Amino acid sequence: MRHKNWVSKLMLALMVASMIIPFQAIMIPLVSIYGGMLNVLNHRITLIFLHTGFSMAMSVFMFHGFINGNIPIALEEAAYIDGCTHVQTFFKIVFPLLRPIISTMVILNSLAFWNDFLLPSLVLTDKELLTLPLSTYSFYGTYSADYGTIMAGLLLCVAPILILYVVLQKQIIGGVVAGAVK
């Protein structure tokens, strides 16, 4: 059952408000706290946690809009009348209907994580830990550039995202069509 109490409204408002703050405004304090006080820079898990935290607000906002706009509460009420618990209602009724927004968020977050340059350049400095965009940047020299190697690196950067889009294309188009027809 969807609860609309003051706690959920406050949490949603905080999530939406956090999307207003640009990353560039908090990157210096972030690096000084994580590097100076906590000493957790140069770890991939740190990068994963930071990316997850920064993408959470947008994901919650998108899921909230999709659920309120496309999933009628009558479906959940009918499931409760038929004897489903809250967990059963979510996994048997609501979750299958969330496929379009899940695939959309997978594509958006994957693109954001995969192509991100600024956050990994701040968090990762060890050569073995660099992401593909950072490694591709290392092909540029001060006075010259090996364009063959750069293009091969860029192709490696683009290929996994294209494959992911082709796999999820049916769900994404379904989500766009479901949102357009009312």
43 Cβ neighbours under 8 A, 6+ residues apart: 123, 129
Residues 168-175: what's their mean pLDDT?
75
Measuring CA to CA, which residue among 97, 93, 71, 91 is closest to residue 81?
93
Indicate the Cα dihedral angle 74, 68, 111, 163, nearest 10°: 30
Residue 160 inside a domain? The answer is: yes
Residue 145 has pLDDT above 60, yes or no: yes
Q: How far apart are CA 41 and CA 52, in angstroms?
A: 16
- Between the alpha carbon of residue 171 and those of residues 46, 155, 174, the distances in Å are 31, 25, 5
Give the confidence band of 179 by pLDDT, cuts at 50, 70, 90. Answer: low
Residue 119 inside a domain? The answer is: yes
Burial status of residue 131 (CB atoms within 10 A of its CB: 0-12, 13-18, 19 or more): buried
| Structural domain of 113 | 6-180
Render pLDDT for 74-119 as a digit per residue (tens, 0 to 9): 999 999 999 999 999 999 999 999 988 888 888 888 888 888 888 8
Measuring CA to CA, which residue among 114, 115, 104 is closest to residue 58?
104
Tell me the whole-structure pTM to 2 decimals. Answer: 0.79
CATH code of the domain in which 167 resides: 1.10.3720.10
Residue 1 inside a domain? The answer is: no
Residue 25 inside a domain? The answer is: yes
- Considering its fold, how many domains does the chain have in total? 1
Render pLDDT for 13-43 as a digit per residue (tens, 0 to 9): 999 999 998 888 988 888 888 877 888 888 8
Give the confidence band of 1 by pLDDT, cuts at 50, 70, 90. Answer: low
Residue 13 inside a domain? The answer is: yes
